[in-house]
Every structure is written in structure tokens, then in C-alpha cells.
Amino acid sequence: MNQDQSVFNPFAKFLRSRSALLYLIGANVAVWLVLFVVQLIGFLFNAESLPSSTSGYTPWVDVVVTWLAVPASLDVLASKPYTIFTYMFLHVELMHILFNMLWIYWFGQIFLEFLSDSQMVTTYILGGLAGAFIFIVAYNLFPVFGQSLHVAIALGASASVLAIVVCVSAYVPNYTIHLIFLGPIKIKYIAIVSVILDIAMIRSGNAGGHFAHLGGAMWGLSYAIMLKKGIDPARLFSLKWLSWLQSGSYSRHMSSKKVHITSRPVNDDVYNQQRAKKQKQIDIILEKISRSGYSSLSKEEKEFLFKASNKS
């Protein structure tokens, strides 16, 4: 019994975390479950025997996919521009969502060791938008896609997930994980291999998907570079709803908010000095992680890094 509990403890802790990672995975799974139910009902009512459309899915599922997937055609996109957002939460096949959710779960936890919930949501959303942009541009730019332009669609969280993978891999490139059969490996190599595979597989039957992945990867790399230079687009977004969801109550959110309101104001010179000192401490800790891994940090260093990331 104790052994079983130890196996499920990390998963139970994750479910209690109320982090952005939990909600992103939950949103993807919820949409997939809706489509699963639609497919099941279609099977029970023999809808699967009806001719499928150009999307390749059965008619009932095709209605949902056509409504939520992002189209390559600019004419079709103009009639449903919202799909540049909805497509990044849409999966039909089990293996598609399983693979994506495992990747975001593994790398998302590493991401949250160094960066904040708002930065994760920003990476996911903007990475997905970048993926949709590159997908649409590629299909409208290259003649090879001319015949399939008006029927091509993209769906899935892969671009957003790869944005998170590349972002954290570029932010802490020497962070080391242990893989079965391969042993210790730095995450930057996993990100590099993933990008190379996407480039190599453009000529496969899912060229649009690989272009979308590359768009997400480009955003992830760009975001990591911006963060290292002190530029953070996440500050432009108000994610107070995340604070409410994580706190579990409005009163706790308000009490934490009062702490910031009553904090003593400082002038620009003092603020810049404090920020420079803080950044220097962060750089020292990140360098230590690069040399010896996250486990080498002291309890105080881990707490400092955690608090710094949540204030980003």
C-alpha cells in the first residue's frame, strides 16, 4: 500500500497544485473528452457508416473539427478567425493528445521551476499563435500546397507544447534529466533533436503540422532570449483568474493583494539597484544549475528562485 501511494504521490500533488500547467492539460483533456463522447454517440447511432468529408473524420466529429480547427485558406479563416486560438486545444486521436500531454507535463514542470504560471500561459498561447501563423504562411506561400490549400487544417497543442519545450531548454540549456536507456541528458539536446525531426519530416504527409511545430519552436526560442534580456510579454497580460483559481478563495486573493498595496514605494534608482542585485543572484543560481543540476541547490536557493519566478 505504501509503495502504491509513493507512486501516485507526485500525480496527486500535481492535481492539488492548481498551477497553469494543470489547467492547460485539463482544458485539452476536456475538449478531447467531448469529441470522444461525440464519436461514441456517432458509433451507437451508426453515423460512422456515413461518408466522411475531406477532413477524414466521421461526419459528427467533422462538424466539431471544421468549427474549431484552423484552416490554411485565408478566405475560410476570414469567416472564423477564432480558430487560431481554438485549434491549440483540439485533439481527436488518443495518441495525439497523450503524446502532447506527456510532453507538456514533463517539460511544464521544469518550466515552472524557473518561470511563472503567467509566463507558461503566455508561452502556450503565443506559441500556438506562432504555429498557426507559420502554418498559414507556408500553405499560402509554397506552390506545392496549392491543390490542398482550401481543405488543409491544423489542430492540436503540438506547436504550443514545443514552444514550452524550446523556451525552457533555451532558458536553462544545461538542465539535466535522466532518460531510460540513455541516462543523463541535457534538455537542450532534446529540443534540438525535436526541431531537426520536424524539419526533416516536412515532406511527410503532415507538412502543415510540422510547419506549425516550427512556428511554436521559434516563439519559444524568441521568448527565452527576451526573458534573459529582461523583456517579458507576459506582463502585458492580466491573469488574475489564475491567482483566484490557485488561491481557492476570493478572500485569500484579496489578503495577498493587500500585501503588495501596502509595500513601501521606492524611487527609480533604488528600484533599479534592487532589480540588478536580484538578477545577479538569479544568474548565479542558474549558473550553478548549469554546472551541477537543480538538485545541487540549497533549500534557500530553491526558495529564492521560486519566489523570483512567481514575481516575474
Phi, psi (rounded to 5 degrees) for 185: -145, 140
Q: Say how far apart CA 130 and CA 132 lie, in whole Å.
A: 5
The reported pLDDT for the residue numbered 121 is 94
Could you give the CA distance from residue 143 to residue 89 in angstroms, rounded to a whole number? 29
The tens-digit pLDDT sequence of the chain (312 residues) is: 455 555 556 666 666 667 889 999 999 999 999 999 888 887 787 765 554 444 556 677 888 898 999 999 999 999 999 999 999 999 999 999 999 999 999 999 999 999 989 999 999 999 999 999 999 999 999 999 999 899 999 999 999 999 999 999 999 999 998 888 778 899 999 999 999 999 999 998 889 999 999 999 999 999 999 999 888 888 776 555 455 554 544 333 333 444 343 344 445 555 556 666 777 777 777 777 766 666 677 777 777 776 666 554
Q: What is the DSSP letter of 265?
A: P
Class of CATH domain 15-233: mainly alpha
Specify the residue for cell string 456515413: 50
Distance CA 295, CA 110 (A): 12
- Stated as kind and residue range, the H or E segment containing 177 is strand 176-179
Contacts of 228 (CB under 8 A, 6+ apart): 171
Grouping H, G, I as helix, E, B as strand and the rest as coil, residue 298 is: coil
